[in-house]
């Protein structure tokens, strides 16, 4: 289980992000395309995508230097952000954004009774994962501009937990065991 901080819901047409200087949720930008994220979207606190995370991606020279992203499926709609929740990791997407590793951990809300038997990425309905992948393939598109973003592949729960552990180790190296 991991704790997830949720910045965006499937109902948001604005991209929110925690401001690193203040710790407050801020408007980052309007969604650039007509799609909204198909899951709750945020990050795993006390993680940092640094050299250990980058080393897990054969197609990235470095990681994005942000907390590790997480996408959480829930059978019940959750329509507000700026919340924390407990999630069960089931897999992930290896995304490369401008040459940087920008992995997306995929999880389910714990304890969601409809999702209780989802232990691996393959246990989710394939259309749900396809929609999530499509969102990340297109969420930065702007007509007339080239965007260097793409999903390089999907991975299972074991590899996703390895990515989470690497991001936690990168955080501890960068910020110390207490984050300060």
> Mean of the pLDDT values across residues 137-153?
74
Q: Say if strands 25-30 and 40-43 run parallel, antiparallel, or are unpaired.
A: unpaired
> Mean of the pLDDT values across residues 51-70?
93
Q: What value does the mean pLDDT of the chain take?
A: 91
Q: How confident is the model at residue 179 (pLDDT cuts 50, 70, 90)?
A: low
Q: Highest mean pLDDT range out of 7-21, 22-36, 58-72, 144-158?
A: 58-72
> Mean of the pLDDT values across residues 137-146?
69
User: Regarding predicted confidence, which is higher, 36 or 119?
Assistant: 119
In the chain, the domains with their CATH numbers are 2-175 (3.90.80.10)
- Asked whether residue 10 carries a pLDDT value surpassing 90, the answer given is yes
Round to whole Å and give the CA distance between 135 and 85.
Answer: 22
């Amino acid at each position: 289980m991991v704790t997830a901080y949720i910045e965006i819901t499937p109902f948001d047409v604005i991209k929110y992000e925690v401001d690193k200087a203040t710790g407050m949720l801020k408007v980052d930008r309007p969604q650039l395309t007509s799609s909204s994220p198909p899951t709750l979207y945020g990050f795993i606190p006390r993680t940092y995508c640094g050299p250990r995370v980058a080393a897990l991606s054969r197609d990235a020279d470095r990681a994005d230097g942000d907390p590790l992203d997480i996408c959480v499926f829930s059978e019940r709609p959750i329509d507000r952000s700026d919340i924390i929740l407990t999630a069960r990791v089931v897999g992930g997407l290896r995304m490369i954004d401008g040459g940087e590793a920008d992995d997306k951990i995929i999880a389910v809300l714990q304890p969601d009774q409809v999702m209780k038997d989802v232990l691996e990425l393959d246990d989710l309905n394939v259309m749900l994962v396809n929609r999530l992948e499509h969102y990340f393939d297109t969420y930065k598109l702007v007509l007339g501009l080239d965007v260097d973003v793409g999903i390089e592949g999907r991975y299972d729960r074991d590899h996703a937990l390895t990515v989470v552990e690497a991001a936690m180790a990168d955080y501890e190296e960068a910020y110390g065991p207490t984050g300060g």
